Chain A
Amino acid sequence: MTRFIYIIRELLRNLYRNPGTALGSLLSMTLLLLLLDLFWIAAGTSEKFYEGLVADLTMEIYLSESLSDTDLIDLSHEIEQLAIVNTVRYISKEEARRLLASQIGTDLLIGYDSLNPLPQSFLLTFKPGRLSLTELIAVEEQLLTMTGVDETEYSREWLEKVERTKGIILKVGLGLGLIIMLAALISLTNGIRVMTRARAVGFRQMLLQGASRSFVALPFLIEGFLMGGLSATFSWLVILYGSEKITFSRISIVYPTRYDIIDFCIVCAVLGLISGYLGIRKLLKV
Protein backbone atom coordinates (compact mmCIF):
# COMPACT_ATOMS: atom_id res chain seq x y z
CA MET A 1 0.00 0.00 0.00
CA THR A 2 1.62 3.24 -1.07
CA ARG A 3 1.08 6.58 0.60
CA PHE A 4 -1.19 7.61 -2.25
CA ILE A 5 -3.32 4.48 -1.98
CA TYR A 6 -3.40 4.87 1.78
CA ILE A 7 -4.74 8.43 1.43
CA ILE A 8 -7.40 7.42 -1.11
CA ARG A 9 -8.44 4.46 1.03
CA GLU A 10 -8.73 6.66 4.10
CA LEU A 11 -10.87 9.09 2.11
CA LEU A 12 -13.18 6.36 0.83
CA ARG A 13 -13.26 4.64 4.21
CA ASN A 14 -14.48 7.82 5.82
CA LEU A 15 -17.29 8.21 3.28
CA TYR A 16 -18.13 4.51 3.39
CA ARG A 17 -18.33 4.41 7.18
CA ASN A 18 -20.32 7.62 7.50
CA PRO A 19 -22.54 7.87 4.41
CA GLY A 20 -25.37 9.59 6.29
CA THR A 21 -23.17 12.30 7.74
CA ALA A 22 -21.38 12.81 4.43
CA LEU A 23 -24.65 13.06 2.52
CA GLY A 24 -26.11 15.36 5.18
CA SER A 25 -23.13 17.69 4.93
CA LEU A 26 -23.29 17.65 1.14
CA LEU A 27 -27.01 18.44 1.07
CA SER A 28 -26.87 21.19 3.67
CA MET A 29 -23.90 22.77 1.87
CA THR A 30 -25.76 22.53 -1.45
CA LEU A 31 -28.85 24.20 -0.02
CA LEU A 32 -26.85 27.00 1.58
CA LEU A 33 -24.91 27.62 -1.60
CA LEU A 34 -28.14 27.49 -3.61
CA LEU A 35 -29.39 30.36 -1.48
CA LEU A 36 -26.16 32.23 -2.12
CA ASP A 37 -26.47 31.60 -5.87
CA LEU A 38 -29.98 33.07 -5.82
CA PHE A 39 -28.74 36.22 -4.06
CA TRP A 40 -25.97 36.47 -6.60
CA ILE A 41 -28.49 36.25 -9.45
CA ALA A 42 -30.79 38.77 -7.71
CA ALA A 43 -27.90 41.22 -7.31
CA GLY A 44 -26.84 40.84 -10.96
CA THR A 45 -30.41 41.19 -12.19
CA SER A 46 -31.08 44.28 -10.09
CA GLU A 47 -27.85 45.82 -11.36
CA LYS A 48 -28.92 45.18 -14.95
CA PHE A 49 -32.38 46.53 -14.21
CA TYR A 50 -30.82 49.70 -12.79
CA GLU A 51 -28.61 50.09 -15.84
CA GLY A 52 -31.67 49.75 -18.06
CA LEU A 53 -33.49 52.42 -16.08
CA VAL A 54 -30.72 54.98 -16.19
CA ALA A 55 -29.89 54.26 -19.84
CA ASP A 56 -32.95 56.34 -20.85
CA LEU A 57 -32.13 59.18 -18.49
CA THR A 58 -31.85 62.64 -20.05
CA MET A 59 -30.88 66.04 -18.68
CA GLU A 60 -32.38 69.30 -19.81
CA ILE A 61 -30.24 72.44 -19.75
CA TYR A 62 -32.18 75.69 -19.89
CA LEU A 63 -30.32 78.49 -21.59
CA SER A 64 -30.47 82.25 -21.22
CA GLU A 65 -32.30 84.27 -23.85
CA SER A 66 -29.31 86.45 -24.63
CA LEU A 67 -27.14 83.73 -26.23
CA SER A 68 -26.24 84.32 -29.86
CA ASP A 69 -26.06 81.51 -32.45
CA THR A 70 -22.27 81.46 -32.14
CA ASP A 71 -22.50 81.23 -28.34
CA LEU A 72 -24.93 78.33 -28.70
CA ILE A 73 -22.57 76.45 -31.01
CA ASP A 74 -19.59 77.06 -28.69
CA LEU A 75 -21.57 75.98 -25.64
CA SER A 76 -22.78 72.86 -27.43
CA HIS A 77 -19.19 71.89 -28.26
CA GLU A 78 -18.11 72.56 -24.68
CA ILE A 79 -20.85 70.28 -23.32
CA GLU A 80 -20.01 67.52 -25.81
CA GLN A 81 -16.49 67.43 -24.35
CA LEU A 82 -17.80 66.22 -20.97
CA ALA A 83 -16.83 62.61 -20.39
CA ILE A 84 -20.20 60.95 -19.84
CA VAL A 85 -22.20 63.01 -22.35
CA ASN A 86 -23.32 61.04 -25.37
CA THR A 87 -25.43 63.47 -27.45
CA VAL A 88 -26.42 67.13 -27.21
CA ARG A 89 -29.60 68.23 -28.97
CA TYR A 90 -30.67 71.86 -29.25
CA ILE A 91 -34.35 72.63 -28.61
CA SER A 92 -35.45 76.09 -29.64
CA LYS A 93 -38.26 78.02 -27.92
CA GLU A 94 -40.58 77.13 -30.83
CA GLU A 95 -39.76 73.46 -30.67
CA ALA A 96 -40.25 73.53 -26.93
CA ARG A 97 -43.70 74.94 -27.48
CA ARG A 98 -44.50 72.26 -30.06
CA LEU A 99 -43.32 69.56 -27.67
CA LEU A 100 -45.43 70.99 -24.90
CA ALA A 101 -48.43 71.13 -27.17
CA SER A 102 -47.89 67.51 -28.15
CA GLN A 103 -47.84 66.57 -24.48
CA ILE A 104 -50.73 68.61 -23.06
CA GLY A 105 -52.75 69.37 -26.23
CA THR A 106 -53.39 72.68 -27.98
CA ASP A 107 -56.59 73.56 -26.10
CA LEU A 108 -54.75 74.75 -23.02
CA LEU A 109 -52.50 76.96 -25.14
CA ILE A 110 -55.32 78.96 -26.76
CA GLY A 111 -54.71 82.67 -26.10
CA TYR A 112 -50.97 82.17 -25.78
CA ASP A 113 -50.18 82.35 -29.51
CA SER A 114 -48.04 85.45 -29.21
CA LEU A 115 -46.55 84.54 -25.82
CA ASN A 116 -43.89 81.81 -25.36
CA PRO A 117 -42.27 81.78 -21.90
CA LEU A 118 -40.49 78.48 -22.57
CA PRO A 119 -36.68 78.83 -22.70
CA GLN A 120 -34.39 77.43 -25.36
CA SER A 121 -32.53 74.36 -24.10
CA PHE A 122 -30.14 71.51 -24.74
CA LEU A 123 -31.26 67.92 -24.22
CA LEU A 124 -28.40 65.64 -23.13
CA THR A 125 -28.21 61.88 -23.32
CA PHE A 126 -25.46 59.90 -21.58
CA LYS A 127 -23.11 57.14 -22.53
CA PRO A 128 -24.54 53.73 -21.60
CA GLY A 129 -23.02 51.87 -18.66
CA ARG A 130 -21.17 54.88 -17.29
CA LEU A 131 -23.89 56.62 -15.42
CA SER A 132 -24.11 57.14 -11.69
CA LEU A 133 -25.66 59.76 -9.50
CA THR A 134 -22.24 61.04 -8.38
CA GLU A 135 -21.16 61.56 -11.97
CA LEU A 136 -24.41 63.28 -12.84
CA ILE A 137 -24.04 65.68 -9.93
CA ALA A 138 -20.47 66.46 -11.01
CA VAL A 139 -21.64 67.14 -14.57
CA GLU A 140 -24.46 69.31 -13.32
CA GLU A 141 -22.02 71.38 -11.26
CA GLN A 142 -19.77 71.83 -14.28
CA LEU A 143 -22.69 72.84 -16.49
CA LEU A 144 -23.90 75.48 -14.05
CA THR A 145 -20.50 77.20 -14.19
CA MET A 146 -20.76 77.59 -17.98
CA THR A 147 -21.83 80.96 -19.37
CA GLY A 148 -25.38 80.91 -20.69
CA VAL A 149 -26.60 77.95 -18.62
CA ASP A 150 -29.46 79.09 -16.37
CA GLU A 151 -30.74 75.84 -14.93
CA THR A 152 -30.56 72.08 -15.29
CA GLU A 153 -33.22 69.48 -14.72
CA TYR A 154 -33.19 65.70 -14.47
CA SER A 155 -34.76 62.99 -12.33
CA ARG A 156 -32.34 63.42 -9.46
CA GLU A 157 -34.66 62.37 -6.64
CA TRP A 158 -35.81 59.30 -8.52
CA LEU A 159 -32.22 58.36 -9.25
CA GLU A 160 -31.28 58.84 -5.60
CA LYS A 161 -34.05 56.44 -4.56
CA VAL A 162 -33.02 53.86 -7.12
CA GLU A 163 -29.37 54.08 -6.07
CA ARG A 164 -30.28 53.80 -2.41
CA THR A 165 -32.38 50.72 -3.10
CA LYS A 166 -29.58 49.19 -5.15
CA GLY A 167 -27.12 49.89 -2.30
CA ILE A 168 -29.42 48.22 0.23
CA ILE A 169 -29.80 45.15 -1.99
CA LEU A 170 -26.03 44.96 -2.39
CA LYS A 171 -25.34 45.36 1.35
CA VAL A 172 -27.99 42.84 2.37
CA GLY A 173 -26.74 40.46 -0.31
CA LEU A 174 -23.15 40.80 0.88
CA GLY A 175 -24.12 40.38 4.53
CA LEU A 176 -26.29 37.36 3.83
CA GLY A 177 -23.62 35.97 1.52
CA LEU A 178 -21.05 36.14 4.31
CA ILE A 179 -23.45 34.54 6.78
CA ILE A 180 -24.25 31.77 4.31
CA MET A 181 -20.59 31.11 3.59
CA LEU A 182 -19.88 31.00 7.33
CA ALA A 183 -22.81 28.63 7.88
CA ALA A 184 -21.53 26.40 5.07
CA LEU A 185 -18.06 26.40 6.59
CA ILE A 186 -19.39 25.49 10.04
CA SER A 187 -21.73 22.85 8.64
CA LEU A 188 -18.98 21.06 6.74
CA THR A 189 -16.50 21.45 9.60
CA ASN A 190 -18.96 19.82 11.97
CA GLY A 191 -19.68 17.06 9.48
CA ILE A 192 -16.00 16.21 9.16
CA ARG A 193 -15.52 16.52 12.92
CA VAL A 194 -18.32 14.02 13.53
CA MET A 195 -16.92 11.66 10.91
CA THR A 196 -13.41 11.73 12.36
CA ARG A 197 -14.21 11.82 16.08
CA ALA A 198 -14.25 8.03 16.39
CA ARG A 199 -10.87 7.79 14.74
CA ALA A 200 -8.88 9.86 17.20
CA VAL A 201 -7.02 6.76 18.43
CA GLY A 202 -5.90 5.95 14.91
CA PHE A 203 -4.67 9.50 14.31
CA ARG A 204 -2.70 9.48 17.57
CA GLN A 205 -1.05 6.24 16.57
CA MET A 206 -0.17 7.55 13.14
CA LEU A 207 1.51 10.57 14.72
CA LEU A 208 3.34 8.37 17.24
CA GLN A 209 4.68 6.30 14.36
CA GLY A 210 6.20 9.48 12.94
CA ALA A 211 3.56 10.41 10.38
CA SER A 212 3.36 14.09 9.60
CA ARG A 213 0.22 16.06 10.39
CA SER A 214 -0.31 16.71 6.71
CA PHE A 215 -0.13 12.97 5.95
CA VAL A 216 -2.82 12.24 8.53
CA ALA A 217 -4.94 15.22 7.56
CA LEU A 218 -4.67 14.97 3.77
CA PRO A 219 -7.58 12.54 3.20
CA PHE A 220 -9.88 14.83 5.14
CA LEU A 221 -8.63 17.95 3.42
CA ILE A 222 -9.33 16.28 0.07
CA GLU A 223 -12.73 15.23 1.35
CA GLY A 224 -13.55 18.81 2.38
CA PHE A 225 -12.28 20.08 -0.96
CA LEU A 226 -14.47 17.64 -2.88
CA MET A 227 -17.53 18.29 -0.72
CA GLY A 228 -17.19 22.06 -1.14
CA GLY A 229 -16.64 21.83 -4.89
CA LEU A 230 -19.42 19.29 -5.42
CA SER A 231 -21.92 21.25 -3.32
CA ALA A 232 -21.25 24.40 -5.35
CA THR A 233 -21.52 22.46 -8.61
CA PHE A 234 -24.79 20.80 -7.56
CA SER A 235 -26.26 24.13 -6.48
CA TRP A 236 -25.54 25.65 -9.91
CA LEU A 237 -26.86 22.58 -11.70
CA VAL A 238 -30.15 23.02 -9.83
CA ILE A 239 -30.25 26.72 -10.78
CA LEU A 240 -29.42 26.05 -14.41
CA TYR A 241 -32.03 23.29 -14.58
CA GLY A 242 -34.58 25.65 -13.02
CA SER A 243 -33.69 28.42 -15.47
CA GLU A 244 -34.57 26.15 -18.37
CA LYS A 245 -37.89 25.20 -16.85
CA ILE A 246 -39.05 28.58 -15.55
CA THR A 247 -39.06 31.69 -17.73
CA PHE A 248 -39.78 35.27 -16.75
CA SER A 249 -41.43 37.47 -19.38
CA ARG A 250 -41.25 40.84 -17.62
CA ILE A 251 -37.74 40.63 -16.26
CA SER A 252 -34.59 39.47 -17.90
CA ILE A 253 -32.68 37.36 -15.35
CA VAL A 254 -28.93 37.88 -15.36
CA TYR A 255 -26.86 34.77 -14.63
CA PRO A 256 -23.15 34.88 -13.82
CA THR A 257 -20.84 33.85 -16.63
CA ARG A 258 -19.54 30.30 -16.90
CA TYR A 259 -16.12 31.46 -15.74
CA ASP A 260 -17.63 33.19 -12.69
CA ILE A 261 -19.43 29.95 -11.80
CA ILE A 262 -16.22 27.93 -12.17
CA ASP A 263 -14.40 30.46 -9.97
CA PHE A 264 -17.20 30.20 -7.42
CA CYS A 265 -16.95 26.41 -7.37
CA ILE A 266 -13.19 26.63 -6.84
CA VAL A 267 -13.66 29.12 -3.99
CA CYS A 268 -16.21 26.76 -2.40
CA ALA A 269 -13.80 23.85 -2.80
CA VAL A 270 -11.09 25.86 -1.01
CA LEU A 271 -13.66 26.71 1.65
CA GLY A 272 -14.28 22.97 1.99
CA LEU A 273 -10.56 22.36 2.33
CA ILE A 274 -10.43 24.89 5.18
CA SER A 275 -13.44 23.12 6.74
CA GLY A 276 -11.57 19.83 6.47
CA TYR A 277 -8.62 21.30 8.31
CA LEU A 278 -10.81 22.88 10.99
CA GLY A 279 -12.68 19.60 11.40
CA ILE A 280 -9.58 17.54 12.08
CA ARG A 281 -7.30 20.17 13.63
CA LYS A 282 -7.90 19.21 17.23
CA LEU A 283 -7.20 15.55 16.57
CA LEU A 284 -3.72 16.25 15.30
CA LYS A 285 -2.14 17.03 18.63
CA VAL A 286 0.00 14.34 20.18
Chain B
Amino acid sequence: MADPIVELTNITYKNDAGGTVFKNLNLTLPVGRSAIITGSAGSGKTTLADLLVGRRFADSGTVKLFGKEMRKRKKRLIRQVRQKIGGVGGRFDLLPLLTVADNITLPLIITCARSKLRKERLRRALTEFSLLNQAALYPRFLTRVENMMVQLARATVANQPLIIIDEPLAGLDVKTYQRVLDYFIKVALSGRSMILLTAEPPQVTIPETDSFEIANGALL
Protein backbone atom coordinates (compact mmCIF):
# COMPACT_ATOMS: atom_id res chain seq x y z
CA MET B 1 0.00 0.00 0.00
CA ALA B 2 1.31 3.44 -0.93
CA ASP B 3 2.46 5.83 1.79
CA PRO B 4 -0.08 8.48 2.73
CA ILE B 5 0.59 11.73 0.90
CA VAL B 6 0.39 13.62 4.20
CA GLU B 7 0.89 12.11 7.62
CA LEU B 8 1.01 14.33 10.69
CA THR B 9 1.49 12.47 13.95
CA ASN B 10 1.13 13.98 17.43
CA ILE B 11 2.20 17.43 16.29
CA THR B 12 2.85 19.97 19.00
CA TYR B 13 3.80 23.48 18.02
CA LYS B 14 4.19 26.69 19.96
CA ASN B 15 4.42 30.07 18.30
CA ASP B 16 7.22 32.58 18.89
CA ALA B 17 5.32 34.11 21.81
CA GLY B 18 5.11 30.69 23.48
CA GLY B 19 1.40 30.15 22.87
CA THR B 20 0.33 26.63 21.95
CA VAL B 21 -0.91 26.43 18.38
CA PHE B 22 -1.09 22.65 17.97
CA LYS B 23 -1.30 19.98 20.60
CA ASN B 24 -1.29 16.33 19.52
CA LEU B 25 -2.54 17.20 16.07
CA ASN B 26 -2.96 14.19 13.77
CA LEU B 27 -3.85 14.04 10.09
CA THR B 28 -3.49 11.26 7.55
CA LEU B 29 -4.30 11.91 3.92
CA PRO B 30 -4.08 8.87 1.63
CA VAL B 31 -3.01 9.37 -1.99
CA GLY B 32 -5.87 10.78 -4.02
CA ARG B 33 -7.91 12.00 -1.08
CA SER B 34 -8.38 15.62 -0.13
CA ALA B 35 -9.13 17.48 3.07
CA ILE B 36 -11.05 20.60 3.88
CA ILE B 37 -9.74 22.08 7.10
CA THR B 38 -11.82 24.82 8.59
CA GLY B 39 -10.96 27.04 11.47
CA SER B 40 -11.52 30.53 12.73
CA ALA B 41 -8.97 33.29 12.17
CA GLY B 42 -5.85 32.60 14.24
CA SER B 43 -6.66 28.93 14.68
CA GLY B 44 -3.45 27.88 12.91
CA LYS B 45 -4.46 27.17 9.31
CA THR B 46 -1.53 29.07 7.79
CA THR B 47 0.81 27.61 10.40
CA LEU B 48 -0.35 24.18 9.32
CA ALA B 49 0.45 25.09 5.71
CA ASP B 50 3.88 26.28 6.87
CA LEU B 51 4.51 22.93 8.58
CA LEU B 52 3.54 21.11 5.40
CA VAL B 53 5.94 23.06 3.17
CA GLY B 54 8.82 22.99 5.65
CA ARG B 55 8.66 26.66 6.45
CA ARG B 56 8.20 25.88 10.14
CA PHE B 57 8.98 22.73 12.09
CA ALA B 58 7.01 21.03 14.84
CA ASP B 59 8.30 21.12 18.41
CA SER B 60 7.41 17.44 18.69
CA GLY B 61 5.72 14.83 16.54
CA THR B 62 6.44 13.95 12.93
CA VAL B 63 5.47 15.55 9.66
CA LYS B 64 5.67 13.17 6.72
CA LEU B 65 4.94 14.12 3.14
CA PHE B 66 5.08 11.55 0.36
CA GLY B 67 6.38 9.12 2.96
CA LYS B 68 9.40 11.32 3.83
CA GLU B 69 9.85 12.96 7.19
CA MET B 70 10.36 16.71 7.04
CA ARG B 71 13.22 17.83 9.23
CA LYS B 72 14.91 21.18 9.47
CA ARG B 73 18.31 19.92 8.39
CA LYS B 74 17.05 18.01 5.38
CA LYS B 75 17.20 20.96 2.99
CA ARG B 76 17.39 18.85 -0.13
CA LEU B 77 14.37 16.76 0.89
CA ILE B 78 12.38 19.89 1.72
CA ARG B 79 13.20 21.27 -1.70
CA GLN B 80 12.10 18.07 -3.40
CA VAL B 81 8.86 17.98 -1.40
CA ARG B 82 8.12 21.62 -2.23
CA GLN B 83 8.48 20.84 -5.92
CA LYS B 84 5.60 18.37 -5.54
CA ILE B 85 3.32 20.87 -3.83
CA GLY B 86 1.28 23.49 -5.58
CA GLY B 87 0.41 26.44 -3.40
CA VAL B 88 -2.45 28.93 -3.69
CA GLY B 89 -3.23 31.89 -1.44
CA GLY B 90 -1.66 32.63 1.93
CA ARG B 91 2.10 32.42 1.61
CA PHE B 92 1.99 31.50 -2.05
CA ASP B 93 2.14 34.85 -3.83
CA LEU B 94 3.11 35.42 -7.41
CA LEU B 95 6.56 36.71 -8.27
CA PRO B 96 6.00 40.40 -8.98
CA LEU B 97 8.79 40.72 -11.54
CA LEU B 98 7.72 37.76 -13.67
CA THR B 99 4.91 37.83 -16.20
CA VAL B 100 1.85 35.61 -15.80
CA ALA B 101 3.30 33.12 -18.29
CA ASP B 102 6.65 33.02 -16.47
CA ASN B 103 4.93 32.70 -13.09
CA ILE B 104 2.88 29.76 -14.30
CA THR B 105 5.87 27.92 -15.78
CA LEU B 106 8.14 28.63 -12.80
CA PRO B 107 7.68 25.14 -11.25
CA LEU B 108 8.68 23.65 -14.62
CA ILE B 109 11.73 25.91 -14.90
CA ILE B 110 12.82 24.91 -11.43
CA THR B 111 12.53 21.23 -12.25
CA CYS B 112 14.33 21.73 -15.59
CA ALA B 113 11.40 20.53 -17.71
CA ARG B 114 11.98 20.51 -21.45
CA SER B 115 11.01 23.53 -23.52
CA LYS B 116 8.37 21.65 -25.53
CA LEU B 117 6.68 20.37 -22.39
CA ARG B 118 6.74 23.83 -20.80
CA LYS B 119 5.11 25.44 -23.80
CA GLU B 120 2.46 22.73 -24.03
CA ARG B 121 1.60 22.90 -20.33
CA LEU B 122 1.57 26.68 -20.37
CA ARG B 123 -0.86 26.78 -23.28
CA ARG B 124 -3.10 24.27 -21.56
CA ALA B 125 -3.05 26.16 -18.25
CA LEU B 126 -3.71 29.53 -19.88
CA THR B 127 -6.67 28.06 -21.73
CA GLU B 128 -8.03 26.17 -18.73
CA PHE B 129 -7.96 29.22 -16.49
CA SER B 130 -8.97 31.75 -19.16
CA LEU B 131 -5.72 33.63 -18.90
CA LEU B 132 -4.70 33.80 -22.55
CA ASN B 133 -5.12 37.58 -22.66
CA GLN B 134 -3.16 38.06 -19.44
CA ALA B 135 -0.14 35.90 -20.31
CA ALA B 136 2.22 38.82 -20.89
CA LEU B 137 1.00 40.92 -17.97
CA TYR B 138 2.76 41.41 -14.67
CA PRO B 139 0.88 40.49 -11.47
CA ARG B 140 0.36 44.12 -10.49
CA PHE B 141 -1.98 44.52 -13.46
CA LEU B 142 -4.19 41.55 -12.50
CA THR B 143 -7.44 41.57 -10.57
CA ARG B 144 -7.65 39.55 -7.37
CA VAL B 145 -9.54 36.77 -9.13
CA GLU B 146 -7.08 36.68 -12.02
CA ASN B 147 -4.26 36.56 -9.52
CA MET B 148 -5.84 33.55 -7.87
CA MET B 149 -6.38 31.86 -11.23
CA VAL B 150 -2.69 32.30 -12.04
CA GLN B 151 -1.80 30.75 -8.69
CA LEU B 152 -4.12 27.83 -9.43
CA ALA B 153 -2.55 27.42 -12.86
CA ARG B 154 0.93 27.46 -11.30
CA ALA B 155 -0.16 24.95 -8.66
CA THR B 156 -1.16 22.41 -11.29
CA VAL B 157 1.13 23.08 -14.24
CA ALA B 158 3.73 20.55 -13.13
CA ASN B 159 1.10 17.96 -12.18
CA GLN B 160 1.95 18.51 -8.53
CA PRO B 161 0.36 15.63 -6.60
CA LEU B 162 -0.60 17.86 -3.63
CA ILE B 163 -2.17 21.29 -3.73
CA ILE B 164 -2.40 23.45 -0.62
CA ILE B 165 -4.99 26.18 -0.89
CA ASP B 166 -5.13 28.80 1.84
CA GLU B 167 -8.40 30.77 2.12
CA PRO B 168 -9.50 30.28 -1.49
CA LEU B 169 -13.12 31.31 -1.28
CA ALA B 170 -13.12 34.46 0.81
CA GLY B 171 -14.50 37.50 -0.97
CA LEU B 172 -15.27 35.82 -4.29
CA ASP B 173 -18.32 36.75 -6.32
CA VAL B 174 -20.89 34.03 -6.93
CA LYS B 175 -19.75 33.27 -10.45
CA THR B 176 -16.07 32.97 -9.55
CA TYR B 177 -16.95 31.07 -6.38
CA GLN B 178 -18.77 28.47 -8.48
CA ARG B 179 -15.96 28.34 -10.99
CA VAL B 180 -13.36 27.77 -8.28
CA LEU B 181 -15.48 25.09 -6.66
CA ASP B 182 -15.88 23.36 -10.02
CA TYR B 183 -12.16 23.41 -10.35
CA PHE B 184 -11.71 21.88 -6.88
CA ILE B 185 -14.11 19.08 -7.77
CA LYS B 186 -12.17 18.49 -10.97
CA VAL B 187 -8.88 18.28 -9.06
CA ALA B 188 -10.41 15.95 -6.47
CA LEU B 189 -11.65 13.64 -9.20
CA SER B 190 -8.32 13.73 -11.03
CA GLY B 191 -6.66 11.67 -8.32
CA ARG B 192 -4.58 14.50 -6.92
CA SER B 193 -4.80 15.52 -3.28
CA MET B 194 -5.86 18.88 -2.03
CA ILE B 195 -5.78 20.55 1.35
CA LEU B 196 -8.22 23.42 1.56
CA LEU B 197 -7.61 25.70 4.52
CA THR B 198 -10.58 27.95 4.96
CA ALA B 199 -12.62 29.84 7.51
CA GLU B 200 -15.88 28.97 5.77
CA PRO B 201 -16.47 25.47 4.40
CA PRO B 202 -17.60 25.27 0.75
CA GLN B 203 -21.34 25.07 0.21
CA VAL B 204 -21.14 21.98 -1.99
CA THR B 205 -19.71 18.55 -1.38
CA ILE B 206 -16.35 17.89 -2.97
CA PRO B 207 -15.84 14.20 -3.80
CA GLU B 208 -13.02 12.15 -2.24
CA THR B 209 -12.70 14.78 0.45
CA ASP B 210 -12.76 14.61 4.26
CA SER B 211 -13.66 17.57 6.41
CA PHE B 212 -11.85 18.61 9.58
CA GLU B 213 -11.98 21.49 11.95
CA ILE B 214 -9.08 22.96 13.86
CA ALA B 215 -10.13 23.53 17.45
CA ASN B 216 -7.97 23.84 20.54
CA GLY B 217 -4.88 22.94 18.57
CA ALA B 218 -6.19 19.62 17.28
CA LEU B 219 -8.12 18.40 14.26
CA LEU B 220 -11.64 17.24 14.94
Contact = CB atoms under 8 A, between A and B. Distances in A.
Nearest to A212: B79
Given A202-B96, A286-B55, A210 B109 contact: no
A255 B37 CA distance: 72
Range of interface residues on chain A? 20 to 34
Interface stretch (A1-9, A64-72, A132-140, A142-150): A1-9
Contacts of A3: 109-110, 112
Contacts of B81: 210
Given A212-B79, A286-B55, A206 B97 contact: no
B82 interface: yes
Contacts of A211: 79, 110
A93 B136 CA distance: 100
A205 B93 contact: yes
Interface of B: 53, 55, 75, 79-85, 87, 91-98, 102, 105-107, 109-112, 115, 118, 154
Interface of A: 1-3, 6, 13, 199, 201-202, 204-213, 215, 286
24 contacts: A1-B102, A3-B109, A3-B110, A3-B112, A13-B97, A202-B98, A205-B92, A208-B53, A208-B55, A208-B82, A208-B91, A209-B82, A209-B107, A209-B110, A209-B154, A210-B79, A210-B80, A210-B81, A210-B84, A210-B85, A210-B107, A210-B110, A211-B79, A215-B110
Given A1-B118, A210-B111, 17 more contacts: A1-B105, A2-B115, A3-B110, A3-B112, A202-B96, A202-B98, A204-B91, A205-B94, A205-B95, A208-B55, A209-B87, A209-B106, A210-B79, A210-B81, A211-B79, A213-B75, A286-B55
